[in-house]
Amino acid sequence: GPEVLENPNEEPQGKFDGWSLQIPACIRALGDDRQTEHLLNRDAQTLNLFKDLLRGMLEAQDFLETTLGEERGLISWTSFHAELVAGVKNTAPKLRSPMRSGRVLLVTAAEARGLPHEIVYVLGLAEGIFPAERAEDPLYLDSERRGLREYGVFLETLSERSDDNGICYELISLPRKRLVLSRPYVREGKPWVESHLWRMSRAVFTDIPLVHYGIGEVVAADDVASLDEAVVAVADGLSQPQPPDEALKLYQWLTTDDACGELWQSIWHGREVEAMRLSTQPFDGYSGLIQHPDLLAFVRERLDERRLWSASQLNEYGVCPYRFFAKRLLKLEALEEPQEGLNALQLGLVNHKILEATYGVLRDDGMAITPENFREAKQILHEQAQAVFKEAPLHYQFRASALWEQEKAVLLRQLEALIAQDFSSDSPLNKISKEPRIPYALELKFGFVDSPNVRIAVTDSEAIRVRGSIDRVDRAGDQLIVVDYKTGSTGIPISEMKAGRNFQMAVYLLALEEIIRKEGWPYQIAGGLFWHIRNQKASGQVTVESEVGFVDEIQDARMHLARHLQRARSGDFSVQPSKVTDGRCTRYCEFSQLCRLASTNQYKVSS
């Protein structure tokens, strides 16, 4: 239609109709004040939106002509103006205020077009990032698209749809002062190939220096691009004999800026905590000592005379106080990956069940554990093992793997070797008593429901409640022998009890002595040992001459128990293993990533 205003420049300011953009008047209003760059950026964005609106109107008209078969005709200015005004009103502006709260604009490559800045950073000039990987069209191959052009059907090919080259050209034209190109060079430990855009830029600008930053490398204070890099650069600079001026300026900004001040204070506090851990100063609240009164009251309540202790709990504190704290008070558990077949716990349960069933039949038949009864005992073992194997996957909740048949054969072979040794004259139990033995009690529980309540004396004035299950008790004449099976082959020497690291045999012997007293059994305790199923070796043998409490190793264990209880009730869960193995308190510790043992001075003074 005809233009309403023939020459807008001749009209006085403020006399334009509502639809006029008043571009000349806006330019004149700026005068010589060029400090309104944000207005220019805003107007550039508005013009882009306006062009998108016009483009959309044309595409809508083309779509109607194609689908409805309408012929393109002239429309009146009034209709066009009405549609244009309606489109402007219904176009929501893309607000960038949250992203422009600072001095840096972060946008995608496509969004940055038409937005000039003093300095422009173009990131990701590596294969697969910029330019991005584009998948082949699932409907038409590029060869088919080119072929369709002969029939008047124009479909863009993959290269035509990819406009990364053009976008890159526009981006490098935006900066007024400085252009920085960047790319990653390592992906999953392997070199990351640069994109052709990077190679083309390097070929054109051959004299531009190339700066390479390694993984984990400290970035210079002037070149930091994130808060993390800034604090690392400051820490590195302050650690030098003569800190660089750039690091000092950055440090001043970190300590005075409201948003970063708290972060730097937190970092400085963390440094002091780590320095205290590495020093020989006594343990404190950051290395395992509970000092808050409410927490101390909670610990004392949980560990008072009402607590029901097990040998495992006592062992954990003896090995490492922090291990006991994490597992028993915090109740943390490691997330184990599901696995096919038996795990270590299930394997131990299967072994114990077979041995319990086998020796249960021997006890019921009154069969003595002697060489002449081995053949019959072996037959009983095979029968009971087959019954346990049949129900094991369902009862112990594991999926039998393809190796289950072979695993059963190995287990049965190990158990058969154990029984053969037990029924021979070379049985390690014969070192405790020469009398013929018969099974007397199996899985003898104490401290559980429907089992004897047992307290064992720790000192002359205190006894603690304990619970457990003794795998097997043999009777040899008027004496009882404790047997505890171990699935693994690692021995448990008696020195572990003397050092206060393993209290299991001490607890079992003292508990059995209390059960004998309560039940009125006419027997005395001869001793006990651990028997390892995998290699049929015994360890940790204790021999009792008169009373359990008179055994030197038991007395040492009681002394350690009293000290451990006193420390635990006072909130002492310091990271202080009694023995360090390969940098850990034990060969395997699920809390090794929590306890900070590696960053704690091994010569730190204990409270």
Has residue 9 got a pLDDT over 50?
Answer: no
Residue 22, pLDDT score: 62
What are the percentages of helix, strand and coil residues in the chain, rounded to 5?
Answer: 45, 15, 40
| Number of other CB atoms surrounding residue 550 within 10 Å | 10
Residue 90, pLDDT score: 81
Residue 6, pLDDT score: 46
Tell whether 599 is covered by a domain.
Answer: no
Residues 296 and 434 in one domain: yes
Has residue 31 got a pLDDT over 60?
Answer: no
The pLDDT tens digits for 508-536 are 999 999 999 999 999 999 999 999 999 99
Residue 607, pLDDT score: 60
Phi-psi region of 596 (alpha: psi -120 to 50; beta: other; left: phi over 0): left
The pLDDT tens digits for 424-449 are 999 999 999 999 999 999 999 999 99
**What Å distances lie between residue 247 and 212, 228, 234, 256, CA to CA?**
20, 14, 5, 14
Residues 398 and 443 in one domain: no
Residue ranges making up the domain that contains 269: 229-278
Residues 439 and 543 in one domain: yes
Residue among 583, 605, 579, 578 at smallest CA distance from 596: 583
Residues 297 and 373 in one domain: no
Residue 391, pLDDT score: 92
Q: How many residues does the chain have?
A: 607
Residues 29 and 175 in one domain: no
The pLDDT confidence band at residue 5, using thresholds 50, 70 and 90, is: very low
Residue 563, pLDDT score: 96
Residues 244 and 258 in one domain: yes
Strand partners, 329: none
Percent of the chain topping pLDDT 90: 55
Tell whether 494 is covered by a domain.
Answer: yes
The dihedral over CA atoms of 153, 159, 160, 161, expressed in degrees to the nearest 10, equals 90
Q: What average pLDDT score do residues 58-84 get?
A: 77
Residues 194 and 325 in one domain: no
Residue 162, pLDDT score: 65
Annotate 81-112 with b (16+ C-beta within 10 A) or e (fewer): eeeeeebeeeeeeeebeeeeeeeeeeeebeeb
The pLDDT confidence band at residue 1, using thresholds 50, 70 and 90, is: very low
Residues 455 and 574 in one domain: yes
The dihedral over CA atoms of 62, 67, 69, 73, expressed in degrees to the nearest 10, equals -20
The pLDDT tens digits for 194-252 are 998 999 899 988 888 898 888 889 999 988 888 999 999 999 999 999 999 999 999 99
Residues 478 and 557 in one domain: yes
Tell whether 102 is covered by a domain.
Answer: no
For the chain, give the mean pLDDT.
87
Tell whether 103 is covered by a domain.
Answer: no
Has residue 156 got a pLDDT over 60?
Answer: yes
The pLDDT tens digits for 392-419 are 999 998 888 889 999 999 999 999 999 9
Q: What average pLDDT score do residues 13-38 get?
A: 57
Query: CATH no. for residue 194?
Result: 3.40.50.300
Number of domains forming the structure of the chain: 5
Residues 321 and 449 in one domain: yes
The pLDDT tens digits for 94-138 are 655 444 556 788 888 878 888 888 999 999 999 888 887 777 777
What residues have CB less than 8 Å from 600, skipping those under 6 apart? 277, 278, 287, 575, 576
